[in-house]
Structure 1
Amino acid sequence: STTGSAGASKKGKKLSKAERERLKKEEEERRHIEEVLEEARLKAEKEEAERLERERQAKEERERLEIKERECRNDELAELRQLIEGKLIAAKTTHSKNRAIVKRNRYMLCDGSPDPAIPQEINTFINLWRESKDVNIKTVLDKSKTVLILISELEFLLSNTPASELNESQATQYRSTILELQKVLLEKYNEATKYMLMRASAMANIETGYMETVIVDENITLCLWANLSRNSRFKGCNFSENKISFELPKPLTVCAIAVRIFHARYDHLSNLCHTFYPRKKRIPLVGESEINQSEKKEEEERPTEEGPMEGKEFPPVTEDETKLEDTEGVMLQTLLFFPKRRKEGKSLIHPSLPAGVAVVHSINRGNKKAVAELEEEEEEEEILENDVVDLRQYITLGGVYYFDLVKLPPQPKQIKGWTIVELLDSGLEFFPYPSETLKNNSSNVKIEEKENETLALPPVGVTIKLPENVMFFETPQIARWDNTGKQWKTDCISNLVYDEENKMMSFRMNTFYHFTLIQDTHLNMPYQSWELRPNNNNEAVLTVFAALIEIEIQIRHDHCQLNSLLGEENNRLSEIKGKWMTPQALITAMKNVGVNIFPAQDTYKYVSIIAKDQHAEQAAYEQMSLLSPAFGFSWSKWNLKAGYHHIVLKVSEHLKPGLIANRDWSLYMLSAERIQKLKITEFSEKFSDDLANGSEFHSSLYHMFKDVASSTAIDRIKSADPLFVDCVLQLLKAIRVLTFS
């Protein structure tokens, strides 16, 4: 039985043919998988080795190219600097000669107007006009045109004269003259207003019994209404042709008053605001902490000067106080904000500067610690009241509306063929509203109805049409002038209604204020994209796709013009479009009409920007302007990903007028160290700084293209008009396309 059992077991272990084939097949599959895996492993190892070899070769090639670039850097930078400086110095020399010619022509001008840069002439002009008794409105309007031209001349000198040709004492003199001209201009308009009101009865409307008159010229609109009939049912006055109206509170309908709406198409108030100027941090000077206790006590006891600066006496600033040269002939001057006026010998406040600004004495270079502290000066955040307008964030547009309630002067009376009029020595007198007298009169009418009410007089209603030469990209805001604090504020204004279709604005104020329209300065920042392309020889077109509008600026030699605005309503900016101007004039004109694409030094506080190294950014603008006669430049989305030290933009050679095709653009990355062409395109999935095949590192864009660009392009660059290169550079620096796009 045992033998039979073993035989059966052996017989049971015998595999069938199918099983043997299955096992054989599985073995073959296992061996095949092992072979495949081994082959894949060997292939991966080979690919990894090849990748490492490629990386090693690429690294070696990159190092070789970097070494080559470093070897050529000094020569390339020297050649680049010679090219750029040659253009800019030639442009500077031409501008200097042109300024000298303008100055000489101004000196030789014999049109009867004074030279505002000569104190004797301008002071004589101001004093003679101030003493003049001719206050006829026509005479005042004619004279005001001359005054506005003189103010423009001084503002031009301040903004366009380089520091090497305009010292601080001259700049201070110009600012003081501007303030004095603005002051005497308003004085004369007030005198002319009083002169007209003294003859209101002769100009009265026979039907209404009121005097209504409107004076219009290119600079102002004067709407004047006099309450001659004193009808308590009077509601308000509508100067329909000028789209200006007001609603008079009932208590004023029986008063001897007049209402003046004087719309000046300029703003002579904002420059009096402390928020108009960039804020600076107060940096203590060396030795200032050593002021003795008696000086500190005296300083604390002295009242703070926060009011207007007119009429206050200030010690004269001598030449030694504004210019103190050390043994090496080097001086350092700076402006700082001081909360209080220091003792004489510490700092001096100029009457022409805004409140809080002081001129710090020049500091000897040997005092390195003081110099270091001044170099660390930075902007200081200021906490403003909620209703105070920050003029670093908002801009006034369309000028200023002087909305005044004035006392009606005594009117002439006819007695037995004689005209008798009472003459008052005072000037134009303003009528207080609200006043206690009016409140008492109002409370006595129906006292039983006011037992549980606050005796507040009704507000004043105003309706105006938005100026036609200004662009508003959102509903405008109204700001009123606070004469005590010398600032614009948004309080005391209610019931604001904006008719967008007819561009009419209605609102109420609790009294009569000067008011203006304000808009966010940075509505069109950051930009969506931009493009600079050559158009013809010494011509280019700069297009900025701003947040709400597309702007095209044409550049020709040393002038530029606003070509078109996509998004503009009803051709509102026809006054400045198509007119050739200098870059500075175009910048000013565009800001004045509400199209601001020109960042200020503190704009970064209000706009999200792409922070870039300033030296690299400025160097990029210089090289772009140098190459602009033959190369186009454009925005790249990779500029955001490139980091702080690198700038990425699209570049293409372009010698014919017209647009640049997408296929012609290539990407280039700029830094303070070198320039390189990128391997990626604008449509790549991710950013990489890999060098494009067949390209090399260079120290500048000019040398990047010097060997690969056409001879025509290089000739255009070398022969370009220096004034054209300088004009392009001014616009690029003003718009800052590389950081605000």
Structure 2
Amino acid sequence: MAKGKGGGKAAKKAAEAEAARLAAEEECTKLDGERQKLEGEEQAKYEAEKAERQRVEAARLAMESERLHQENDSIAFFLGTRANALRAVHLKLKDDVEWRRYLACCPRPDPRLECQINGYLNTLQENPETELEFTLEHCDDNELVIGEAQELVLAAEHFGNGSKREKHLEYLSKIRSLTAAQIDRITAHILQRADEFQNAKGEVQVQAQVDAVKFGLWVNLAKNPRMKTIEIPELNFISELPKSLALASIAVRMLHVYYDELTARAQNEFMAVGGVFAVDLLALPPRRSKRGPFVRYLLALPPKKVKAWTLQQVTPLATHVSKLPYPIPPAGSDHSMAAASTTATAPPPMGITYPLPSHVLVLDTEPLVGWWDPETETWRTDGVSDVKYDDEAHTMSFQTIKLTSCALIMSRIKLLPYASWNLRPTTTSSSVLTIWPEHNPLPEPISIEVGEGWCKLQSPNKPCLQELLDNEMPPALLLRKLSDSGVHLLPENRDADFCGVIPKNDDVESKLSFDLALIAPAFMISSSKWNKEMEPEDCIFRVSEVTDYTRTEQRDCDKCFDKEKENVLTVLRKDKGCAFLPIKDQDPTMSKDLLRRITPPDDISWEAEALEPLYYAGSLSVLLKGKASESSLETVETASAAFTEALHHLIYTLRLFSFG
């Protein structure tokens, strides 16, 4: 009985525990439901408040947008007047160009006219020259046409006319391809008649040059093992031959073109400077040996002469060249397999010496020579050694096992990013833009003077840049010539990763370039250190009104922005417009509140956060009303359209905000 009584108590306790557990679970479920209900109510309240904040902010932005639209309408008359003035300037420039071409009886096509370019291309294809000098003159004409077309490419890019830009680039590519074909054809023509070019010593060495091309060809008919050096003093070319080439029946073509059509495709950061120097090993046309069989290029005996006739086999090599790999593979072997085998044992290098064009400025203390790899589309330096630059003779010399397109190369970002820059007016129709690269290899900054439709280099003051220091030219042409000289200031988006920068939104940068050009006649403008920290949609800079044009020397401009007194204003540019920022470059950090005002969330409550939204104006000239004097604003409105447009083009092409 005691045992039964104890079992009943245990069962009772278990039942009570189970009831308590169920009651606790019920209470938890009830509490959880109440909690979920409260959370739902809180979430609904938050969503409602957020929607209300978004509605209020959207209404404010709509009112702001309407105001900005009205502001843009208020300056429409000024912009229309300026556009009319620009059309008159462009029409006069067009008439001047056409008149000069007419007076000069210029035989070259006008790159603006598609029919003339197509006719020019057809003529080049249908009438190949058989004289070396005439061929190179045609190649020189090609480069003159390309030079004019390149200006149009940059102008089309500047104005956002992508279709016109692509059309011009297509013509450039076709003309350059025809130049290469012309040079190959005349080379094949000479090789087919190599015997006619032998000198008294039995040597065949042909050379010619024009402004844009230097051509040297050596044909090894004698196979003289004592031949160690090819010297072409007329071109200042020197090639030190490995013994294997001195014993081979081949031709060596050395071709220096003062342009570079390869870097546009480069997948790495390098670019060619001073054009491209190509060393090609060429197969000789087949000739009949005394033993009977035809040998492709190992036997190069003279053609057979019968009375007044010269009998010579004609093959595709009569009009085309066959480039050989180095080292030259044995007869009958696969060229690609032979080229691959060179990785195990490197062949002896060929020594090359060639002069740089007189306009080239060598910026690297230890210059690099690279070769073009068409497979990876990169400039490479492996296989090139003992690179030397003779400053006095202005020549490059190097040893290479890569007999192909070579060049003095430098990084495209050598002068990028910009550490700082400023723009100062010297008169109401001229300014000077000065740039300090972050890693400047020059002893002075880069300064460009801008006038009514032209630009001119002020510094660096180097003899090789004398043409750019002395002559006024359009912005696109000046920057292109500077780049050709090794002072590369034509950054592209593909350079951004190598520089460690994020490019700015193109629409914002374009609008800002236009804004800055318009106010430049009456204001000094400078970069701001905060620009680099901003998002791609935000650009920051500084401005200061000019009241005395005798106080706009470089030292005055530097002093103004270094001290940052009250007359220096920091400005933010977004796509919708401009706003003043309450910050200086001297400030150590940018506050979180200011960052929130610059990039507010769409549900911000300005009142709750005790913040005031930034006040935007549709353009910089409108923003400055009330801050600048009436005389300065009048100077802006009456400034030369040709001057401000040249400045607009220069600022935009330099990409001052993406790379500075």
What's the TM-score once normalised by structure 2's chain length? 0.69
Tell me the distance in 2 between the aligned counterparts of 1:681 and 1:218: 51
- Cross-structure match for 2:352: 462
- Cross-structure match for 1:722: 641
- Cross-structure match for 2:205: 212
- Cross-structure match for 1:234: 227
- Cross-structure match for 1:33: none
- Cross-structure match for 1:602: 494
Change (3 A) 1:78 1:423: same
Q: How far apart are residue 123 of structure 1 and its match? A: 4.8
Whether contact under 8 Å (1:477, 1:519) holds in the other structure is yes
**Which of 558, 568, 583 pairs up with 1:666?**
568
Do residues 390 (structure 1) and 267 (structure 2) align?
yes
Tell me the distance in 2 between the aligned counterparts of 1:631 and 1:120: 45
**Which of 138, 153, 164 pairs up with 1:143?**
138
User: Which AA in structure 2 matches 1:495?
Assistant: S
Whether contact under 8 Å (1:227, 1:258) holds in the other structure is yes
Structure 1 stretch displaced more, 171-180 or 187-196: 171-180
- Cross-structure match for 1:280: none
Do residues 400 (structure 1) and 276 (structure 2) align?
yes
**Which of 301, 326, 330 pairs up with 1:437?**
330
Whether contact under 8 Å (1:631, 1:655) holds in the other structure is no
Whether contact under 8 Å (2:263, 2:270) holds in the other structure is no
Change (3 A) 1:496 1:714: same
Q: How far apart are residue 100 of structure 1 and its match? A: 7.9
1:156-193 CA deviation, whole Å, 9 max, x = no partner?
A: 4444348999784x766655544333233222222333
Tell me the distance in 2 between the aligned counterparts of 1:565 and 1:633: 21
Tell me the distance in 1 between the aligned counterparts of 2:578 and 2:107: 57
Change (3 A) 1:88 1:524: farther
What's the TM-score once normalised by structure 1's chain length? 0.62
User: Which AA in structure 2 matches 1:193?
Assistant: T
User: Which AA in structure 1 matches 2:648?
Assistant: L
Tell me the distance in 2 between the aligned counterparts of 1:500 and 1:669: 48
**Which of 170, 179, 189 pairs up with 2:173?**
179
Change (3 A) 1:486 1:677: closer
Change (3 A) 1:472 1:238: same
Tell me the distance in 2 between the aligned counterparts of 1:585 and 1:85: 27
Instruction: Give ranges in structure 2 of 5+ residues lacking alignment.
Output: 1-60, 286-299, 334-342, 598-613
Tell me the distance in 1 between the aligned counterparts of 2:454 and 2:400: 45
Structure 1 stretch displaced more, 182-191 or 192-201: 192-201
Whether contact under 8 Å (1:266, 1:400) holds in the other structure is yes
- Cross-structure match for 1:325: none
Whether contact under 8 Å (1:534, 1:654) holds in the other structure is no
Tell me the distance in 1 between the aligned counterparts of 2:331 and 2:209: 33
Tell me the distance in 2 between the aligned counterparts of 1:562 and 1:238: 38
User: Equivalent residue of 1:517, what SS?
Assistant: strand
Superposition pairs for residues 519-668 of structure 1, below 5 Å?
519-547=410-438, 548=440, 549=442, 550-565=445-460, 568=462, 571-609=463-501, 617-639=509-531, 645=538, 647-657=540-550, 658-659=552-553, 660=556, 662-663=559-560, 666-668=568-570
Change (3 A) 1:479 1:731: same
Tell me the distance in 1 between the aligned counterparts of 2:376 and 2:88: 41
**Which of 230, 245, 248 pairs up with 1:252?**
245
Tell me the distance in 2 between the aligned counterparts of 1:411 and 1:402: 27
Tell me the distance in 2 between the aligned counterparts of 1:173 and 1:709: 45
Change (3 A) 1:429 1:684: closer
User: Equivalent residue of 2:467, what SS?
Assistant: coil
Tell me the distance in 2 between the aligned counterparts of 1:599 and 1:454: 39
User: Which AA in structure 1 matches 2:655?
Assistant: R
Change (3 A) 1:134 1:650: closer
- Cross-structure match for 2:39: none
Q: How far apart are residue 80 of structure 1 and its match? A: 4.3
User: Equivalent residue of 2:458, what SS?
Assistant: strand
- Cross-structure match for 2:380: 490
Q: How far apart are residue 217 of structure 1 and its match? A: 1.8
Instruction: Give ranges in structure 1 of 5+ residues lacking alignment.
Output: 1-65, 277-388, 441-452
**Which of 187, 198, 212 pairs up with 1:193?**
187
Do residues 738 (structure 1) and 640 (structure 2) align?
no
Structure 1 stretch displaced more, 514-523 or 663-672: 663-672
Structure 1 stretch displaced more, 702-711 or 554-563: 702-711
Tell me the distance in 2 between the aligned counterparts of 1:152 and 1:464: 24
1:294-332 CA deviation, whole Å, 9 max, x = no partner?
A: xxxxxxxxxxxxxxxxxxxxxxxxxxxxxxxxxxxxxxx
Q: CA RMSD in A?
A: 4.3
User: Equivalent residue of 1:606, what SS?
Assistant: helix
Q: How far apart are residue 245 of structure 1 and its match? A: 1.9
Superposition pairs for residues 413-424 of structure 1, below 5 Å?
420=310, 422=312, 424=314
Tell me the distance in 2 between the aligned counterparts of 1:138 and 1:153: 23
Superposition pairs for residues 61-100 of structure 1, below 5 Å?
76-80=71-75, 82-84=77-79, 86-88=81-83, 90-91=85-86, 94-95=89-90, 98-99=93-94
Tell me the distance in 1 between the aligned counterparts of 2:190 and 2:472: 41
1:564-616 CA deviation, whole Å, 9 max, x = no partner?
A: 216x5xx2222333322222222322222222233313332222337767665
Tell me the distance in 1 between the aligned counterparts of 2:136 and 2:508: 51
Superposition pairs for residues 222-371 of structure 1, below 5 Å?
222-240=215-233, 242-270=235-263, 276=265
Tell me the distance in 2 between the aligned counterparts of 1:258 and 1:619: 56
Tell me the distance in 2 between the aligned counterparts of 1:471 and 1:541: 22
Q: How far apart are residue 390 of structure 1 and its match? A: 1.2
Tell me the distance in 2 between the aligned counterparts of 1:186 and 1:668: 53
Tell me the distance in 1 between the aligned counterparts of 2:653 and 2:158: 18
Tell me the distance in 2 between the aligned counterparts of 1:200 and 1:642: 65
Whether contact under 8 Å (1:80, 1:702) holds in the other structure is no
Whether contact under 8 Å (1:87, 1:726) holds in the other structure is no
Q: How far apart are residue 554 of structure 1 and its match? A: 0.8
User: Equivalent residue of 1:602, what SS?
Assistant: helix
Change (3 A) 1:203 1:655: farther
User: Which AA in structure 2 matches 1:145?
Assistant: D
Superposition pairs for residues 29-68 of structure 1, below 5 Å?
none
User: Equivalent residue of 2:465, what SS?
Assistant: coil
Whether contact under 8 Å (1:258, 1:405) holds in the other structure is yes
- Cross-structure match for 2:319: 427
1:419-467 CA deviation, whole Å, 9 max, x = no partner?
A: 7463634225436343442799xxxxxxxxxxxx977653433233444
User: Equivalent residue of 2:403, what SS?
Assistant: coil
Change (3 A) 1:489 1:269: closer
1:241-294 CA deviation, whole Å, 9 max, x = no partner?
A: 6443222221222333221101111224455xxxx2xxxxxxxxxxxxxxxxxx
User: Equivalent residue of 2:466, what SS?
Assistant: coil
User: Equivalent residue of 1:670, what SS?
Assistant: strand
Change (3 A) 1:638 1:85: farther
Change (3 A) 1:104 1:165: farther
User: Equivalent residue of 1:221, what SS?
Assistant: strand
Change (3 A) 1:227 1:535: same
Tell me the distance in 2 between the aligned counterparts of 1:177 and 1:674: 38
Whether contact under 8 Å (1:258, 1:408) holds in the other structure is yes
